[in-house]
Chain A
Amino acid sequence: MNLSKDLYNKEKLEQKPTRDGYGHGLVELGKKNPNIVVLGADLTGSTRCDWFEKEFPDRFIQIGIAEQNMMGVAVGLALSGKIPFASTYSVFCPGRNWDQIRVSVAYNKANVKFTGAHAGISVGPDGATHQGLEDIAITRCLPNLTVLAPCDMIETKKATIAAGEMEGPVYLRFAREATPIFTTEKTPFQISKAEVFREGKDVSIIACGPTVYEALLAANDLEKEGISVEVVNNHTIKPIDEKTIIETAKKTGAVVTAEDHQVMGGMGSAVVEVLSKNHPVPVEMIGVQDRFGESGQTDELMKEFGLVAENIKEAVKKVIKRKA
């Protein structure tokens, strides 16, 4: 998988937010394709769109704090041959403008890419209103839409470029905080292809976003306790890679899902839908358990809401006990 040499040596890994990968990806796309256009909704800096704006000022469109209009304008651009990236926080997009996404974007199959930055409890001190915990649930239920939650900065750059190069609407999810960069330029990335980042035989952890790294840490610790854990990076929540999910469940016979999102309707729910139809196994789900977030430092909140390696380890032990 060509992951970092220092994979389990967290102190040695460089840490950057996934949204930086979006910024780099946009600039690279902009250089390759004159039809790439970026739309900002008064959050240009924190979504890293200012990097694109600086390089290509004529192809950056400032919409103001108007996410509903932003989606419509993006659709009009897409229907005229452009490839728009509409960028703001996940609580506003797809949060505030869901009907525009449903009708104007998805029903029209408009070639619009839209992003939810600052997704997850990891947003930190801004508190509940700004911690997007429902975006996967409300996007993955829409026909025609692709939903991506990449795991680190490098993968986010790849996901951004892949989104720009495919035809059709795509939702991209990013986090605010710096997280370890543990993949490399050589790590494979393909939309709708989940990757087994670590092989194991007792339990599979299927995760997305920066939580994948917590899953790897948990797996590494559990190895020392004699538990062999497989870790799957499930960056594409829709269309989901059924084959890889079924294969890993058949191999290990138990699954833990992990994500920085509500457990209801999230990536874990998508995995459970696949397994219950095809190969039912015991599942434990790591995620936010039906509550709103709150203010705090990111590391405090991740512990408070049960989203760190320690919590994943407990879930692994619990699910092993449930194996037939």
Chain B
Amino acid sequence: MGIKEIEKKANEIRKDIIEMLLEAKSGHSAGSLGMADVFAALYFGDIMKYDSKNPEWKERDRVVLSNAHICPVWYATLAQAGYFPIKELKTLRKLGSKLQGHPDRFELSGIETSGGSLGQGLSIACGMAYSFNKLDKKDNWVWALTSDGEHDEGQMWEAAMFAGKNKLFNITQIMDRNNIQIDGYTEDVMPLEPLKEKYEAFNWHVLEIDGHNIEEIIDACNKSKAIFEKPTLIIAHTIPGKGVDFMEWEYSWHGKAPCAEEANKALNCLRTLDGKIKSEHE
């Protein structure tokens, strides 16, 4: 898929997110919208090996979403990628739904791990990468999607040490660096910087990108696959709530869903946004 189409796809995903969250009446708006471009690039930018019609395909890459509360963006992307019907998105968070508030791997194809407690995904990604690379000598790639806020958890750094020690180059971690968490801005709650230098000291290769520039995302992901000495961290600088003007940068939208009026406004914002996201950053 070309860059322009992926940008459009990202916008479709954003609209799906707003509609899902409106139906669900709860859920995480800001992070979901902020990562739409990264998810669109990963699934439609010819980066990952997957087959939505054969989700158990042995050669597939693995995706682990550690900050699992942004699963609306993952659900919308998986539906857009053909894992399940788009109309099912509206069942999010309802009794009996396959789309649990935090992902359940037994409910939905395309979900590799159930999760929801922050800080645990990178370790799981490490176990997968170790299995593929060290034990089975296979070239499946592991994409670990994490957030900046969850780096408050000590387990993230335990996992970072483990990946560095074992040179697990078949992990690409993409960190959603949106600077917010529930209680406020990350640097106020618990300063994380200098993230790049910290990870480099843990023996990772680090790239920093604009997380809304599809070309940059694809380029960084492809670069990470060409590095065979170290695991790679891509720090994706994103704007929480991206695409919906009244949500952008507002940490109050971290864990909130829009009401009907707000959803209408949000969808209007997104309709006028088609094709504009990248140009804003040029």
Residues of A within 8 A of B (CB): 37, 58-59, 61, 63-64, 66, 68-69, 71-82, 84, 99-100, 102-104, 107-109
Contact = CB atoms under 8 A, between A and B. Distances in A.
A77 B122 CA distance: 13
Interface of B: 62, 64, 104-106, 112-117, 119-132, 134-136, 154-155, 158-159, 161-162
B161 A64 contact: yes
B159 A69 contact: yes
B130 A103 contact: no
Contacts of B129: 76
B117 A59 contact: no
B127 A74 contact: yes
A56 to B, nearest CB: 11
A69 B123 contact: yes
Contacts of B122: 72
Q: Secondary structure of the B side of the interface?
A: helix
Given A66-B161, A68-B154, A108-B105, A75 B131 contact: no
B117 A75 contact: no
Contacts of B159: 69, 72-73
B52 to A, nearest CB: 19
B123 A76 contact: yes
Contact of A82 (B116, B123, B135): B135
A133 to B, nearest CB: 25
A80 B105 CA distance: 14
B117 A99 contact: yes
Contacts of B113: 75, 79, 104, 108
Contact of B135 (A59, A64, A102, A109): A59
B131 A103 contact: no
A306 B171 CA distance: 52
B265 to A, nearest CB: 36
B126 A76 contact: yes
A109 B106 contact: yes
A305 to B, nearest CB: 33
A108 B114 contact: yes
A80 B158 contact: no
Given A37-B135, A69-B161, A76-B131, 7 more contacts: A72-B122, A72-B126, A73-B162, A77-B128, A77-B130, A99-B120, A103-B120
The 9 closest A-B pairs by CB, nearest first: A76-B127, A72-B123, A69-B158, A80-B131, A73-B127, A66-B158, A76-B128, A68-B155, A76-B124
Contacts of A72: 120-124, 126-127, 155, 159
Contacts of B104: 107
Contacts of B131: 76-77, 80-82
5 contacts: A64-B162, A68-B119, A74-B127, A76-B130, A80-B136
Contacts of B112: 79
A69 B105 contact: no
A75 B123 contact: yes
Contacts of B123: 68-69, 71-73, 75-76, 100, 104
B170 to A, nearest CB: 12
A103 B117 contact: yes
Contacts of A107: 104, 114
A316 B117 CA distance: 45
A67 to B, nearest CB: 9
Contact of B127 (A59, A64, A75, A99): A75
Given A69-B155, A69-B159, A79 B128 contact: yes
Contacts of B120: 68, 72, 99-100, 103-104
Which of A68, A81, A100 lies at the interface centre, i.e. has the most chain B CB atoms within 10 A of its CB? A68
Contacts of B124: 72-73, 75-76, 79, 104
Contacts of A63: 162
Nearest to A109: B106
Contacts of B126: 69, 72-73, 76
A64 B163 CA distance: 13
B243 to A, nearest CB: 31
Contacts of B130: 61, 73, 76-77
Contacts of B64: 76
Nearest to B105: A108
A97 B99 CA distance: 27
A116 to B, nearest CB: 19
A66 B2 CA distance: 43
A59 B122 CA distance: 21
